[in-house]
């Protein structure tokens, strides 16, 4: 009886088809501290400083969600540029803010950590960026 099952399983394994589902390239998320340069392809992004942080702290009821503004230095193909980038939140989702593109990759700011909390001071900020393949 077992001899009859062996050809069946061999034949069944040969008829397995490959999945043709198209998978998008993943987003690469990186974190950077102040004055830390992150190279991406022909670009480099450096968080220079946090200019303002008016995000509504955790534990406080606010009318406005607020925003954070950071200054970054972008070097694209040897050309330096300083740019102000806004990071906003509506309390549920965060918007991403465009930083730079070299035509092959896009860099966006997606968050500024830590998020403010009532009664706590922020020591060191970290900017979260994501890198995606340009269309």
Taken in order of first residue, the domains within the chain and their CATH numbers are: 24-133 (2.60.98)
C-alpha dihedral (47, 35, 74, 38), degrees to nearest 10:
-90
Tell me what percent of the residues of the chain surpass a pLDDT of 70: 74
**What's the CA gap between 133 and 131, in Å, rounded?**
7
**Mean pLDDT value across the chain:** 82
According to DSSP, residue 16 is labeled: P
What would the pLDDT profile of 54-113 be if each residue is shown by its tens digit? 998 988 888 888 889 999 999 988 899 999 999 886 554 566 688 998 889 999 998 999
For residue 46, name the pLDDT band (cuts at 50, 70, 90).
Answer: very high
- In terms of pLDDT, which residue wins out, 15 or 49? 49
Other CB atoms within a 10 A radius of the CB of residue 88 amount to 15
- Retrieve residue 64's tokens: 């406005």
């Amino acid at each position: 009886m077992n001899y009859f099952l062996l050809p069946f399983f061999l034949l069944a394994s040969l008829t397995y088809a490959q999945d043709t589902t198209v998978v998008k390239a993943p987003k690469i998320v990186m974190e950077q501290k102040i004055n830390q340069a992150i190279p991406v392809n022909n670009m480099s992004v450096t968080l220079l400083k946090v200019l303002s942080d008016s995000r509504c702290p955790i534990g406080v009821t606010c009318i406005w969600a607020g925003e954070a503004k950071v200054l970054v230095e972008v070097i694209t193909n040897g050309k330096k540029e300083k740019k102000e980038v806004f990071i906003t939140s509506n309390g549920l989702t965060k918007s991403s803010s465009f930083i730079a593109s070299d035509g092959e990759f896009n860099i966006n700011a997606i968050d500024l950590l830590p998020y403010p909390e009532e009664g706590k001071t922020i020591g060191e900020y970290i900017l979260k960026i994501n890198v995606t393949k340009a269309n």
